[in-house]
Structure 1
Amino acid sequence: MSVPRPIAPARVLLAAAAAGVLALTWGGSAAAQQGPTTVAPAGAAFEAALSGSATFTAGSVVVTCQASSTSPGNGNNLVPAAPDNHNSAGAVSSTINAPDFTDCSTNVPFVYATVAVNDPVWEMTMQHGSPSVGTMVIPAGGIVVTTSGLSSCTATVSPNGPVGIGGTWTNGDPASTLAFDTAAPVEVTGGFGCPTDATEAPFQATYEVTNADDPSSPITVTG
């Protein structure tokens, strides 16, 4: 197999990594659903951790992150207390601590990526439906991805304002899952080899969501 020229992998890598980081939190396109939603158990603290690995693929470039999570603290990652954990006409909202992203690698030699989260708290909503959807709102410029090595670029996620992205929720025991297959908006700046015309890129990953207070009582979304 021939080795691709440095400029193309660097360009694709940055766009893919930026979109992947955005979607890892609770990502995908927000579904415009209506109807009752109940998130249970009321008042429970929850955490989300990557199941397996997250893979961003664009052309011949594959970016893989082995770890990403968000945990309760500072009053975030909590199911609302009753009666606010139920909405008879729409979604149930909460706040989450911004996730971290570690142990990432790429199949492109000599190209490296780092991730900075600029806002520590993000909003999320859960909406029961077919399927149920978890939507996370990333603040404007909430994530910045930089590359170094063969190409030095900066990608800003949700550059023009808050962006809601959604993933498919599936109830489980002891862990429910939130699966992403989506694209995220990015703005890329930099010099030679940077994909400055990129506006979005694809991402796939699955998170396991568990009850941090009582793992035997799963976090569920019902009508």
Structure 2
Amino acid sequence: MSVPRPRSRTYSLLALTGAALLLPGGTALAAQAGPTTVEPAGAAFSASLSGSATFTAGSVVITCDVSATDPGGGNNLVPAAPGNHNPDGAVSGPINAPTFEDCSTNVLFVDATVTVADPVWEMSMQNGSPSVGTMTVPAGGIVVTTSGLASCTATVSPDAPVGVSGTWTNGSPASTLAFDTSAPVVVEGGFGCPVEATESGFTATYLVTNADDPSSPITVTG
């Protein structure tokens, strides 16, 4: 299997979970047609993990306690008006791929490295019941390599872009985006590698705040 040539960062260690958050995309909540407005228009936003993120592939479980995406490079911005309103569907824009730190695995003496093939993802917000936030992961968007007792390579969304969807809940000062989903995965390797796995499960909840004015929350309405 050919692995996409990495174009940006390589995160160290236990980033297998990183694979998750940047990438899970199977159990996507259905996007709902209808108008969407994201406010405040033009605001920069950050998202940080609340609790921990868990990624599973077969019997392998990896947990990360720190994950975040912050504005920069023109990304993580609510579109300026009138682009922050779509009368016919979702409001979208580019975001910086999350980083993952303070991670651990349930396999003794196994470390992991994750390579992100593209540091920029697409984020779309759709108002509804519930409202839905979807990140699009490019094909081969995350490659996880483990070392130690188990030498494995896991490629998330190996063949095509995948939408990773979670439930959005408005709040103040932070709104939440909760993922409980899965994404296609291909695992290669020898002893201890979950080569039978075809999907990776992912659960995580992010707190989304206005990086320009924390007192003015990021909200999704009709």
| TM-score (normalised: structure 1) | 0.86
Q: Residues 98 and 123 (structure 1 numbering): CA distance in 2 closer, same or farther, change over 3 Å?
A: same
Match of 1:24 among 5, 21, 24: 21
> Paired residue for 1:180?
179
What is the aligned partner in structure 2 of residue 133 from structure 1?
Answer: 132
Q: 1:58 to 1:144 in 2, by over 3 A?
A: closer
Q: Which residue is equivalent to 1:95? A: 94
The structural deviation recorded for 1:107 is 2.7
CA positional deviation for 1:133: 0.4
2:18 partner amino acid: V
Q: TM-score, normalised by structure 2?
A: 0.87
User: Secondary structure of the equivalent of 1:21?
Assistant: helix
Q: Equivalent residue for 1:82?
A: 81
Q: Which amino acid aligns with 2:183?
A: A
Structure-1 residue corresponding to 2:8: none
Q: Does 1:104 align with 2:110?
A: no
Higher helix share: 1
Seen in structure 2, the aligned counterparts of structure 1 residues 198 and 60 have a Cα distance that, compared at 3 Å, is closer
State the partner residue of 1:73. 72
Whether the aligned pair in 2 keeps the contact of 1:36 and 1:88 (CA below 8 Å) is: yes
Identical columns (%): 76
Cα pair 2:132 2:168 within 8 Å, conserved: yes
- Write the distance in 1 (CA, Å) between the matches of 2:208 and 2:137: 19
Q: Is the 8 A contact 1:23 1:182 kept in 2?
A: no
Structure 2: segments with no counterpart, 5+ residues:
1-14
Q: Helix, strand or coil for the counterpart of 2:21? A: helix
Change (3 A) 1:180 1:218: same
Aligned length: 206
Query: Could you tell me how far apart the structure 2 residues matched to 1:125 and 1:172 are?
Result: 18
Distance 2:198 2:57 in 1: 14
Per-residue Cα deviation, 1:138-173 (whole angstroms, up to 9, x for no partner): 011111111111110101111101111100000000
Measured on the aligned residues, the alpha-carbon RMSD in Å equals 1.8
Amino acid at match of 2:185: V
Mark the runs of 5 or more structure 1 residues left unpaired by the alignment: 1-16
Is the Cα contact below 8 Å between 1:26 and 1:166 reproduced in 2? no
CA deviations over 1:21-55 (Å, ceiling 9, x no partner): 34423855142310000000000000101112112
**Equivalent AA in structure 1 for residue 21 of structure 2:** L
